[in-house]
Structure 1
């Protein structure tokens, strides 16, 4: 079963449609489903349940993994990172969003837009300018193995000059993840030079690195473009 975009984006589309046209959410969901070729949202949901996607993010992550989550702007990398945290919270795991980009209110609004209200209250938001490897490790100290944290985003962890170089922070967090069993996902930028006419999906070589980083520290990567998702292990 292939949808035009991941289901969490379809839900967000329906919420925006309901708000803009002042219609009931279930009517908006049905309209979105019809655009995907289904008579109603319930039929789309039942088909999805019967044929679950084989590229779910959480199910592919193991304790201690470092994940790169990359896409060009507007292709859903932040929403997918939040969906990963919602899924982790629904499994009863500790889930933490570290963001240098959003306020807590903005992050909560995005979580609600994904339908994460049922578990969103269990999802921790850390929104601060001083986020770095040391503060992340301190905040997650003592967390059970399998805890999931998403860092938004990789390229600005060392933007402030008083913070350690990005390469040192990544190395430190790699050691912390292996020691603690915490899963760390890093939302990451894709370089402007990426050309979808040459290759339909960005890859490791397209990650924007204003400062040197050993990408071999990461164990897995997930790339998004135009609604498609590619998950890969990093050798």
Structure 2
């Protein structure tokens, strides 16, 4: 074991070469997440210790800490902060003294990530290491190829072997597990969630629409809901209703609007909470009762953990950066994006017309990745094309979504918002129930449950959503 430790100690030189390349992919945030996960729960190193090696870290400081952790793990010693610092001093006294032990990450220890995601963090560190190694090896081969006397056959063979070896490394250090291992872990997570539910904790996020909750079971972290519809169908009204419902559960929600300003958003929310008609805020006069109700609504809104961000013309990368800041400063449970079609997805693309639909599909995939990365609920609004306007039945279908194939594959659930009154449909042809102020929500995809129709009621100004109860 000692020999292994000494061998590892000689690796940081490779790291410094990789780090010197400004184009090399680095993963310092994920490397720190691995370190913090082990500090928070020492047994979590068992999940990654056999496949994540110290030289895979791009940051020399995190590399030393992980070397110390790994040495303790290999010697079956207890892993705590004192033993880690002692091992760091043994491995590299000068470096450890310069870092003041673990003092250099002390300010981050209060924001330790969930140790159960350590495999995800480690997989990202390994991925970036493989890419850096590929850059290093290909740089060498490029230099050889530029020589006038280059052996083409030998060069191609050596390049193939380089890539083959990296491919083996990547597969070897992947997350392949037996069904028995996975089932044991999953059952443990299920039983833990059951205990938390039994204790009264609400794990899922409510949509605020009873029938919708019964269909979906609520909204779950790591999953993406797509709420689609034609203009003026009530997408934003439903999204704001869901935002308020989640915030009233104590969930921290970030609402990103690429269409409405902060004033418009706050005005909509205040009208929802107070029942005051939006026309009175825009161009009519408020009476004393209106002002009292608005003041009470503003007081309630101040107590809710909602972050409203107007980000017209923003890219998903900018939105992700904002999520990182919110996650670090406040924590985050849910993100709402209003709406997908207004994202800046053409930056850096040569042919806008040919790539728009493809770019929207890619953006949806990135939103899904964001929900997994931050372990949050994501609700994405999307606008449908005009196809439903030309059909005898105006009820939307999956193909009305732009790039529907890509979005259908990525989304965990898709619901289409439809207001019959918009098309002068006054009652249900089968039950003859009135469609007066009734919205229909067609759940056309539900990865973890049933599809079907959900109904809700709304007021004249579409600022308030109510449960649908048959009269």
**Aligned pair 1:233/2:445, yes or no?**
yes
SS at match of 2:336: strand
Pair 160,88 (structure 1): closer, same or farther in 2 beyond 3 Å: same
Structure 1: give runs of 5+ residues left out of the alignment. Answer: 1-51
Unaligned runs of 5+ in 2: 1-208, 275-296, 350-355, 420-438, 448-471
Distance 1:115 1:196, change over 3 A: farther
* Backbone CA RMSD of aligned residues: 3.1
Tell me the alpha carbon deviations over residues 72-119 of structure 1, each in whole angstroms, 9 at most, x when there is no partner.
111111100111111110000111110111110001011112217365
* Alpha-carbon separation, structure 2, partners of 1:65 and 1:196: 33
CA deviation vs aligned residue, 1:9-31 (integer Å, no higher than 9, x gap): xxxxxxxxxxxxxxxxxxxxxxx
- After superposition, residues 1-235 of structure 1 pair within 5 angstroms as 53-56=210-213, 59-115=217-273, 117=297, 119-121=300-302, 122-141=305-324, 142=327, 147-158=333-344, 161-162=347-348, 165-195=359-389, 198-199=392-393, 201-209=395-403, 213-226=406-419, 227-235=439-447
Normalized per residue, the structure richer in strand is 1
Q: Secondary structure at the match of 1:138?
A: helix
Deviations along 1:124-155, whole A, 9 cap, x unmatched? Answer: 11102343222222222237887111111111
In the alignment, the residues of structure 2 paired with residue 58 and residue 89 of structure 1 have an alpha-carbon distance, to the nearest angstrom, of 19
The alignment partner of 2:211 has SS state of coil
- Per-residue deviation, 1:173: 2.3
Give the whole-Å Cα distance in 1 for the aligned partners of 2:397 and 2:249: 30
Relative distance call for 1:82 and 1:177 in structure 2 (3 A) is same
Contact 1:68/1:186 (CA < 8 Å) preserved in 2?
Answer: yes
State the TM-score, normalized to the length of structure 2.
Answer: 0.35
CA drift of 1:212 comes to 8.5
Q: Based on CA coordinates, which of the two structures has the bigger radius of gyration?
A: 2
Is the CA contact (8 Å cut-off) linking 1:133 and 1:169 kept in structure 2?
Answer: yes
Aligned residues between the structures:
183
